[in-house]
Chains A and B, each alone.
Chain A
Amino acid sequence: MADSPTPAQAPNRSQSRRGADVLGAAAGRSATSIPAGSSNSVEAGALTRAQAGDHEAFAQLYALHKRQIYSLCLRMVGNIVEAEDLTQEAFLQLHRKIATFRGDSAFSTWLHRLAVNVVLMRLRKKGLSLISLDEAMEPTPTEGPSRSFGSADLRLTGAIDRLALERAVAELPAGYRLIFILHDVEGFEHNEIASMLDCSIGNSKSQLHKARLKLRDALRAQNRQKEPS
Chain B
Amino acid sequence: MTGDPAKMSCAEFQAQLPELIATGEDAAAHPHLQSCQDCRAFLASLEAIAEAARQLFPSVEPPDEVWERIESAIRREAAGSFDPGL
Contact = CB atoms under 8 A, between A and B. Distances in A.
A162 B61 contact: no
B45 A185 contact: no
Interface stretch (A34-42, A60-68, A109-117, A128-136): A60-68
A35 to B, nearest CB: 14
Interface in A20-36: 20-25, 27-28
B50 A62 contact: no
A216 B46 contact: yes
Interface string A164-192: 01100100000000001000110000100
A228 interface: no
B6 interface: no
A103 interface: no
Interface size class of B (residues with CB under 8 A): 35 or more
Given A27-B54, A149-B14, A87 B49 contact: no
Contacts of B24: 21, 24-25
Contacts of B63: 84
Contact of A20 (B28, B61, B70): B28
Nearest to A14: B54
Contacts of B14: 145, 148-149
Interface size class of A (residues with CB under 8 A): 35 or more
B18 interface: yes
A165 B53 contact: yes
B25 interface: yes
Contact of A155 (B44, B52, B55, B70): B44
B34 to A, nearest CB: 15
B74 A92 contact: yes
A161 B60 CA distance: 20
Interface in A136-156: 145-146, 148-151, 154-156
Interface string B2-17: 0000000011001101
Contacts of B73: 88, 92
B56 A145 contact: no
B23 A24 contact: yes
A155 B45 contact: yes
A70 B54 contact: no
A59 B26 CA distance: 45
Nearest to B20: A24
Nearest to B82: A96
Contacts of A66: 61-62, 66-67
